Amino acid sequence: MLAQLIARSALARADIVVITRSAHAPAIESVVRRHSPAPIFYAQTVLDEVRPGERSRVQWEPAAWLGKRAFAFCAIGNSRAFFDDLRGWGVQLAGSRAFADHHRYTAREVEELESSALAAGAEILMATEKDAYNLGSLMFSALPLYHLHVTMQVTEAAKFWQVLEAVLEMNRQRRSR
């Protein structure tokens, strides 16, 4: 109940609403319209690049991940979306593991991840850029690690930027009064 109140309050204050991971969501738009007159845009994650990670003693070429069975892990707010995106981009998932958002990995967890990956028949490990960074100096020893560089692509991008600039200008003028 509190989350719904907070969401309604946030929508009421919103200048722009961006619905992610969908190209068309009339039910969500209907809810937004009940609480906000803000313009609605859509955005999807786009895979820009898969990069070999530096946190593995086993190094493969950048494109060597193609067609390999992967064990994916992440510590982001919506881990399920990351795993779904991987499948959508054609990654064969042998298994996956999610951690709490902003998790800092331990040596034991790195060993467990690699053990789980090997047991699942994975040939490579995959993570987000954020997770590759949050490994710190920890290293995988048996499997290569790849991390994904992704961006959010807004449909109607030109219109989105026009609206955003107008909102920012309106907010600047309000603050200067």
Q: Where are the domains of the chain?
A: 2-43+153-176, 45-150
- Say what the pLDDT of residue 37 is: 92
- Helix, strand, coil % over all residues of the chain, rounded to 5: 40, 25, 30
45-150 to CATH, choices 3.10.520, 3.90.105, 3.40.50, 2.60.120? 3.40.50
Question: Shortest CA distance to 114 belongs to which of 138, 82, 86?
Answer: 138
- Say what the pLDDT of residue 1 is: 52
Separation of alpha carbons 43 and 157, rounded Å: 9
- Say what the pLDDT of residue 22 is: 80
Residue 120 in tokens: 């699942």
pLDDT in tens, the chain (177 residues): 545 655 788 888 899 999 988 888 888 888 889 899 999 999 999 999 888 877 777 767 777 888 899 999 999 999 999 999 999 999 999 999 999 998 999 999 999 999 999 999 999 999 999 999 999 999 999 999 999 999 999 999 999 999 999 999 988 888 887
Cβ 116 vs Cβ 142: under 8 Å: no
Beta strand 145-154 pairing with 40-52? antiparallel
Cβ 143 vs Cβ 114: under 8 Å: yes
Residues 6+ apart with CB under 8 A from 147: 50, 51, 53, 126, 127, 128, 129, 131, 132
Cβ 135 vs Cβ 55: under 8 Å: yes
- Say what the pLDDT of residue 4 is: 65
- Say what the pLDDT of residue 53 is: 78
What pTM value is reported for the model? Answer: 0.79
- Say what the pLDDT of residue 5 is: 58
- Say what the pLDDT of residue 2 is: 47
Residue 78 in tokens: 């919506």
